[in-house]
């Protein structure tokens, strides 16, 4: 099996030196549940790679991003094309955070800014079976209207469309299942006062220090896509 990972997150150096890139973090996470799988990471946001043709891959993973789907982004249309191509070819798709948002937008939904400040730390979600669970989050936009081809499978008070399952092989989440506590802490500390205010950073660090979110919890769902 060959999976394409679109890394849509910029990784400014030397600020984030020593911290794995988003695509690397996703590959490390997925590798726990996908044996005999080859991953290929494409640095789209950094301008190092172009979005590949999905005819050469068995599945597509779309990462988070600092950007918004309503921004004027040079690679936006290429990512949307890859999503449409994957759907037409019947190739499974999985989206994380911005990936969740651009999937919804591409397939007919709506995305808007959720609040003035970033939602960062740990949030509680409830799945369609009524099971409550905590996940790491870092975003300022969210899906405000899901596409007609999608069903809501997890939500929260602040984010009613937190996870979507499509009527073709596709699944997406607003939260970050690929994060672990140490990785998240490093990101927050490196960007303290830059990506977030010091107050936001300290509140997020306090939240994640109190709860150890299981990193393998969403892998079974992704494997079923």
Query: Hey, which residues are catalytic here?
Result: 97, 176, 178
The angle, 0 to 180 degrees and rounded to 10, between the axes of the packed helices 198-210 and 181-190 is 170
For residue 121, what are the β-bridge partners?
A: 137
What's the rounded Cα separation, in Å, for the pair 54 and 154? 28
What's the rounded Cα separation, in Å, for the pair 136 and 98? 14
Please count the other Cβ atoms lying within 10 Å of the Cβ belonging to residue 202. Answer: 13
C-alpha Rg value of the chain to the nearest Å? 16
Euclidean distance between the first and the last CA atom of the chain, given in angstroms as a whole number: 14
Three-state DSSP at 123 gives strand
């Amino acid at each position: 099996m060959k999976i394409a990972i679109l890394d849509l997150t910029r990784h400014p150096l030397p600020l984030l030196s020593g911290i794995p890139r988003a695509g690397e973090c996703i590959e490390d996470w997925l590798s726990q549940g996908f044996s005999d799988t080859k991953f290929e990471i494409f640095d789209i946001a950094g301008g190092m790679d172009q979005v590949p043709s999905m005819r050469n891959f068995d599945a597509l993973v779309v990462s988070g991003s600092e950007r918004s789907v309503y921004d004027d982004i040079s690679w936006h249309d290429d990512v949307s094309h890859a999503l449409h191509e994957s759907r037409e070819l019947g190739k499974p798709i999985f989206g994380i955070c911005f990936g969740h948002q651009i999937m919804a937008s591409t397939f007919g939904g709506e995305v808007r800014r959720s609040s003035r400040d970033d939602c960062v730390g740990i949030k509680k979600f409830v799945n369609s079976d009524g099971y409550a669970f905590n996940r790491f989050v870092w975003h300022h936009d969210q899906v405000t209207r899901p596409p007609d081809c999608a069903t809501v499978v997890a939500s929260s008070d602040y984010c009613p469309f937190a996870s979507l399952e499509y009527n073709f092989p596709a699944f997406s989440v607003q939260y970050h299942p690929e994060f672990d506590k140490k990785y998240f802490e490093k990101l927050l500390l490196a960007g303290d006062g830059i990506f977030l205010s010091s107050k936001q950073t300290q509140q997020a660090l306090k939240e994640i220090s109190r709860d150890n979110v299981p990193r393998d919890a969403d892998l079974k769902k992704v494997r079923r896509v």
